[in-house]
Amino acid sequence: MEKQFLIDDIKLGESWRLFKIMGEFVDGVEALHDIGPAVSFFGSARVKPDDPRYQKAEHLAGLFAKHHFSVITGGGGGIMEAANKGAAEAGGVSIGLNIILPHEQKPNAYANITQEFKYFFIRKVMFVKYAMAYVIFPGGFGTLDELFEAVTLIQTHRIKPFPVILVGTAYWKGLIEWIKTHLLKEQMISPDDIEIIQVMDEPEAIVKAIQKLVIL
């Protein structure tokens, strides 16, 4: 009998979790549905303000804001903070989609639209659904996860072939070489798949490249 009660409690808990998941989706859609053309920035939370990559992300986000793009980040520190700061200080829409974590992730002070998520997968849906381009700065596992999520959805035609731009040739060179040497050479991907990803360095060139591919 006690075992049956435990099973029933587990089932009830799972049912309530579904409502929480649905609630996060609803909250995200309501917060972002009218933000207009947007670019999602991905990158490490560990990059400090005196790092040139922080400064480049801040500058690039400001350029996007001046060209009437909203800027979406994960809402935390590092590259995310830099992008939110650049967009906000340029007078643009600066969006932070914060994830609740026991360490590392704390909301930055520069997002003028904020939304908090418990579930990573819902947050990733919002990054992809409401952006018209994806800009990826140096980062770790989380950044790679977000990068390959976008690439896979484009590869499988689940979303439109929006630009995916890796910022920092030196940082990303090894990954691109590995993709070509192993995935492409061993026919794990098609030659067209490698064209999904672009590697660029200059903020002005990145904005121009996205403007050419995205009709505002």
pLDDT tens sequence across 22-49: 999 999 999 999 999 999 999 999 999 9
For residues 127 and 118, what is the distance between their CA atoms, to the nearest angstrom? 15
What pLDDT is recorded for position 188?
97
Contact 176, 197 (CB under 8 A): yes
What pLDDT is recorded for position 208?
95
Contact 38, 131 (CB under 8 A): yes
For residues 84 and 63, what is the distance between their CA atoms, to the nearest angstrom? 12
Contact 74, 99 (CB under 8 A): yes
- Which amino acid appears at position 55 of this protein? Q
As given in the structure block, the two tokens for residue 109 are 């002070």
Q: pLDDT above 70 covers what percent of the chain?
A: 92
Is the pLDDT score of 216 beyond 60?
A: no
- List pLDDT tens digits, range 150-169: 999 999 999 999 999 999 99
- List pLDDT tens digits, range 117-143: 999 999 999 999 999 999 999 999 999
What pLDDT is recorded for position 5?
38
Tokens 């670019």 correspond to: 39
Question: How big is the CA angle at 149 (ends 169 and 79), to the nearest 5 degrees?
Answer: 50
Phi and psi at 94, nearest 5°, equal: -120, 110
What pLDDT is recorded for position 100?
86
- pLDDT band at 209; cut points 50, 70, 90: very high
What pLDDT is recorded for position 6?
42
Domains of the chain in start order, with CATH, are: 38-213 (3.40.50.450)
Helix (H) or strand (E) holding 88: helix 79-89
As given in the structure block, the two tokens for residue 84 are 């939110």
Q: Looking at the DSSP assignment, which residues form a beta bridge with residue 197? A: 164
